Amino acid sequence: MKAKIYLTYKEGILDPEGNAVKRALKSIGFNSVDTVQFGKYIEMTFTGVSKEEAEKLTDEACRKLLANPNTQSYRFEVAEQ
Amino acid sequence: MKAKIYLTYKEGILDPEGNAVKRALKSIGFNSVDTVQFGKYIEMTFTGVSKEEAEKLTDEACRKLLANPNTQSYRFEVAEQ
């Protein structure tokens, strides 16, 4: 099973990397860029578990380790590899 | 228009963050975790451009700024917001 996890900043949390990239893009002529938001993308594979178990494990991994609940939101999809 | 961009390490490139998270997950009992790969997830919005233009701009932004062609691969999707 393979989980694809997306971590993004919660609304109102400063995103310095996103702001820097937005400025850099504008400076090289990308004038139609409106917003840029940076987050993390994590691929995790499991062996010997069902889809339901992989979903439970992924959610638990996000809560216990991957996401900072104060500043980040997470979402994920689990599918056969 | 909104672009969702995924940056991942190319095969064979060391992913220290992914390795550290894999070890940390194993140490707290996630024994069925097989691989963990870290990447970046970027959301970019555009105003006043068509889907085709947004796709062209996103590809150009990846090539000129966002992705390191030596170590990273990128893929993206563009859709109405």
Number of separate domains in chain B: 1
The average confidence (pLDDT) of chain A is 95
Contact list in B for residue A31 (CB cut-off 8 A) is: none
| Per-residue pLDDT at B81 | 80
Best interface-test mutation with A: which of B27, B31, B32 has the largest number of A CBs within 10 A? B32
Domain span holding position A30: 2-79
Q: What is the 3-state secondary structure (H, E, C) of chain B?
A: CEEEEEEEECCCCCCHHHHHHHHHHHHCCCCCEEEEEEEEEEEEEECCCCHHHHHHHHHHHHHHHHCCCCCEEEEEEEECC
Dump pLDDT digits (tens) for A43-54. 999 999 999 999
Q: How big is chain B by its Cα radius of gyration, in Å?
A: 16
Query: In whole angstroms, what is the distance from residue B40 CA to residue A42 CA?
Result: 8
Confidence band (pLDDT; 50, 70, 90) for A81?
A: confident
Burial class (CB in 10 A: 0-12, 13-18, 19+), B24: middle
Pairing of strands B72-79, B2-9: antiparallel
Contact A25/B53, CB-based, under 8 Å? no
Contact list in B for residue A36 (CB cut-off 8 A) is: 42-44
Dump pLDDT digits (tens) for B26-74. 999 999 999 999 999 999 999 999 999 999 999 999 999 999 999 999 9
| Per-residue pLDDT at B63 | 96
Mean pLDDT of A45-69: 96
* Residue B32: CATH number of its domain: 3.30.1280.10
Dump pLDDT digits (tens) for A20-42. 999 999 999 999 999 999 999 99
Contact list in B for residue A44 (CB cut-off 8 A) is: 33, 35-37
B41 touches chain A (CB under 8 A): yes
Nearest by CB: B38 against A28, A40, A65: A40
Residue B37 to chain A, least CA–CA distance (Å): 5
